[in-house]
Amino acid sequence: MGKRAKGCSLADFPSLNAAEMQILEAAASGKWAIIGETRPEAPSEAGAVRAEFLRFLALGGDDETPVHEQGLHVQGAWITGTLDLSQAEIAGALTLAKCRFAEAPELVNTQIGGLFSLEGSAVPGLCADRLNCRSDVFLRNGFTSTDAIRLPGATIGGDLACTKGTFENPGDKAIIADGIKVGGSVFMRGGFSARGEIRLLGATIGGGLDCTKGTFENPEGKALSADGIKVGGSVLMNDGFKAQGEIRLSGATISGILVCTKSTFENPDGSAISADRIKVGGNVFMGDGFSARGEVRLLGAKIGGDVSFRGGNFGNSDKSARAINGQGLLVSGAFIFDGVTVAGGAVDLHTAHIAHLVDDLTSWPQDNIVLDGFVYDSFAGNAPTTATERLAWLDKQHPDHSGKAKKPREFRPQPWQQLRKVLRDMGHLEDSRQVAIAFEERKRECGVIGEISAPAAPGDIVACFRQWLQSRTARGFHWLYGCLIGYGYRPARLFWSLVAVWLAGTVLFDIGGHSRVFGPTDPQIFTNAAYDPCNPEKNPRANWTRCQIFPRAYPAFYPPLYALDVLLPVGKLGQQDHWAPLDPKGARTPANKALAWATQIAVWGETLFGWIAGLLLVATVTGLAKRHDE
């Protein structure tokens, strides 16, 4: 037999102590070597075990002292020196439970055929870059580390279990597992505690990432960095989960659900959760006891199910910053936003697109929501759908965006148009019309109607006056358009306006007819002596409108038809062609003169009103009035 390398033969360890002898015997049978029931707190000769000796056994011993195929199992040992298994191949399991290591173990590029467990042990760090373990890795149930646990590029066939483990490296990295591949799940739950950053950048986890009741503390930086992580199951940060520092899930892919209920995320001076471009196959829950101090970022996130903030508590110490940033968020299911408290900061849904909106008005912060570009297909659940309530919702936008600040360049029309469309599509036609009318009124109030894009120089008085007149004229016609026809959404209003004007004209023309202020339009009648009995100028008691000697072909004066004839912009009824108000200058009394003027002005006014009404009617029918719901 050839000579073995140093440390690979039992002869290299001539004087074994009692603990080492116990381990040697147990290794031969695959049984546990119980050096102590608990983890040693101080060095002792009785429990001391040399790391080199453990390495010898972990590698399978030698021909005279082979190790059982079940592997090496030790409990309660004080391990002196550095356990260096780098580049080694371990056929079976390696379990060192409730042990205390004087130096950080090294397992760089190590391959382990079975379980690797440091359950309940205390280490001053662990260096296991590119570790390849075909089974589980246990750093749980009392495991304690006072320096970084390094697992970058590691491959674990089973689970990585850190439940009830303590990982401390304040202000630095507690766990570094960038690019790790775990075939099973990762457990950082139930008493898991980390002081320092947990790094899982680009990790691939076949199962889930369970951080239920875990504590992640790194107040001055990132508590969890899991950018680009791929999780085949769900991510759970719930039921007592606590984080101090930023939780990063940017670019992550989660096939299952993301649950953050009954949890606390604290990073007041920055982002509490950064999940930009995250992809979640199922639902996202950030409610029901969820609390975040700091921005919650979901920019460009794609959610296959629902997003629920129901019962959540959000806030940002910087009131001008965002509490929830959902710019570009895409939700295939419902966006649930009821029972929510936003203590400070904006809710930004710029260019977000969701299928269903479930909300209540009280959850949205006043004057601090961004809805520009926000697209939703319908309201669902108990979400309010009346125009009054939804208009109050739009008024919770930033005053610049809602138009209340009267800054036309900052006004955002899309939220109004979106709300009108959704209400119409849901069959709430009247509410949709009310929103459309309110939208037009808000445009005029904030200065969009009649806006001057390039104001003239203050010294150019003529140009300034021209622009002022142009603006006021546009606003005036817009106001009239709203009054008469409700911007195209109240066509009946135009009809009743016409009826009112017609009735008023009928009454006035009837009074005028009785008061001798109307006469025939044919000048030959005035010069024909045969009609002198009907001429008030020649017979003070005469009245043209009561004349009985006109030819039958000459139509009689009939006030209702005359008012209608004046009002109609096209088509004639024969009244206005044969009758007209007499010249007020010829009136014999001041009262008749005033009545004659009133009648003449009424004719002009009715004619103008008729043309305006006709044009509005044509505009409405042809769609120029934007009557999309009729």
Domain encompassing residue 27: 1-62
Assess whether 57 and 91 both reside in one domain: no
Per-residue pLDDT of 406-422, as tens digits, reads 999 999 999 999 999 99
- Number of DSSP helices (H) and strands (E) in the chain, helices first: 11, 45
Assess whether 118 and 227 both reside in one domain: yes
Number of domains in the chain: 4
Assess whether 50 and 87 both reside in one domain: no
For residue 129, is it within any domain? Answer: yes
Assess whether 544 and 506 both reside in one domain: yes
Per-residue pLDDT of 278-301, as tens digits, reads 999 999 999 999 999 999 999 999
Q: What percent of the chain has a predicted confidence (pLDDT) above 70?
A: 96
Residue 560 has pLDDT above 90, yes or no: no
Assess whether 47 and 139 both reside in one domain: no
Assess whether 104 and 236 both reside in one domain: yes
* Interatomic CA distance for residues 492 and 434, integer angstroms: 14
Per-residue pLDDT of 162-190, as tens digits, reads 999 999 999 999 999 999 999 999 999 99
Domain final residue pick, 256, 282, 308: 256
215 close to 240: Cβ distance less than 8 angstroms: no
- State CA 298 to chain mean position distance: 8
Assess whether 425 and 515 both reside in one domain: no
335 close to 362: Cβ distance less than 8 angstroms: no
For residue 272, is it within any domain? Answer: no
Confidence at residue 378, expressed as pLDDT on a 0 to 100 scale: 97
Element holding 515 (H helix, E strand): none
Confidence at residue 525, expressed as pLDDT on a 0 to 100 scale: 76
- Residue of 133, 91, 90, 140 whose CA lies nearest to 118: 140
Assess whether 92 and 228 both reside in one domain: yes
For residue 239, is it within any domain? Answer: yes
Tokens of 242: 């606590």
For residue 414, is it within any domain? Answer: yes
pTM of the predicted model as reported, rounded to 2 decimal places: 0.84
Per-residue pLDDT of 53-104, as tens digits, reads 999 999 998 888 899 999 999 999 999 999 999 999 999 999 999 999 999 9
- State CA 361 to chain mean position distance: 15
* Interatomic CA distance for residues 256 and 296, integer angstroms: 20
For residue 267, is it within any domain? Answer: no
- DSSP strands (E only) in 132-263: 132-133, 137-138, 144-145, 149-150, 155-156, 160-161, 166-176, 181-182, 186-187, 193-199, 204-205, 209-210, 215-225, 230-231, 235-236, 242-248, 253-254, 258-259
Assess whether 439 and 561 both reside in one domain: no
305 close to 327: Cβ distance less than 8 angstroms: no
For residue 607, is it within any domain? Answer: yes
For residue 324, is it within any domain? Answer: no
Residue 2 has pLDDT above 70, yes or no: no
Confidence at residue 628, expressed as pLDDT on a 0 to 100 scale: 47
Report the b/e string of 231-257 with b at 16+ CB within 10 A: bbbbbbbbbbbbbbbbbbbbbbbbbbb
Confidence at residue 348, expressed as pLDDT on a 0 to 100 scale: 97
Per-residue pLDDT of 15-58, as tens digits, reads 899 999 999 999 999 899 999 999 998 888 888 999 999 999 99
- Other CB atoms within a 10 A radius of the CB of residue 453 amount to 6
Q: Parallel, antiparallel, or unpaired for β 579-581 and 518-520?
A: antiparallel
* Interatomic CA distance for residues 621 and 85, integer angstroms: 85
For residue 360, is it within any domain? Answer: no
Residue 481 has pLDDT above 90, yes or no: no
- Residue of 27, 31, 71, 64 whose CA lies nearest to 49: 27
Q: What is the mean pLDDT of residues 358-365?
A: 96
Confidence at residue 6, expressed as pLDDT on a 0 to 100 scale: 56
Cα atoms in the 13 Å half-sphere on the side-chain side of 61: 18
Residue 586 has pLDDT above 70, yes or no: no
Per-residue pLDDT of 92-144, as tens digits, reads 999 999 999 999 999 999 999 999 999 999 999 999 999 999 999 999 999 99
Q: Which residue has the higher pLDDT, 83 or 625?
A: 83
Assess whether 130 and 229 both reside in one domain: yes
Assess whether 461 and 559 both reside in one domain: no
Assess whether 457 and 543 both reside in one domain: no
